[in-house]
Amino acid sequence: MSETIHGLTTAEVTLLGEKAIAAKSLAYCPYSNFRVGCALLCEDGSYVLGANIENASYPVTVCAERTAFSRAIVEGKRESGGFKAVGVSTDISPPASPCGMCRQFIREFCDLKTPIFMWDSKGEYAVMTLEQLLPMSFGPDQLHKPDPNKGK
């Protein structure tokens, strides 16, 4: 059996990196000039890209990771099996990691074992699982589901 990295083949990791790096060119970041690209490898084998989208009202900015996941969710990628890996790319070294808000956003849609690959300006990556980046996390399973018989 060939070697895998968090369940991905080396070819899948290479392609994920190429997509995440290419996605940086989609960034709209005139205020920070800090480009972030994101590529999601979906369980159906497709890739969904995202990039950071800034706003003149700075806090309105959306990170690359949330852009990618929002796009993927409305494209039906949750129903078609979800996500195998997340790739993020920035122009700094060592690589940047997803911000806290994005970690929680990813938590909604991914298994805790999902690998998050982070590429730096040199084309090298670090990888950590979602659980490592967001320990003791709060997620959908902790919420009580509404009782369908309530009020009957």
For ligand DUR, give the closer residue by CB, 8 or 118: 118
Tell me whether residue 123 is exposed, middle or buried, using C-beta atoms within 10 angstroms of its C-beta: 0 to 12, 13 to 18, 19 or more: exposed
Per-residue x/- marks for Zn ion, 56-95, CB under 5 A?
Answer: -------x--------------------------------
Q: Does 102 bind ligand DUR (CB under 6 A)?
A: yes
Sole binder of ligand DUR in the list 32, 46, 55, 121 (CB under 6 A) = 32
Query: Per the annotation, where are the binding residues?
Result: 52-58, 63, 99, 102
Q: How far is the CB of 146 from ligand DUR (least distance, A)?
A: 32
Q: Name the active-site residue from 12, 65, 79, 124.
A: 65
Using the contact rule CB under 6 A, the part of the chain among 8-16, 62-70, 115-123, 133-141 near ligand DUR is 62-70
* Positions in the binding site for ligand DUR (CB under 6 A): 29, 32, 34, 36, 52, 54, 61, 63-65, 98-99, 102
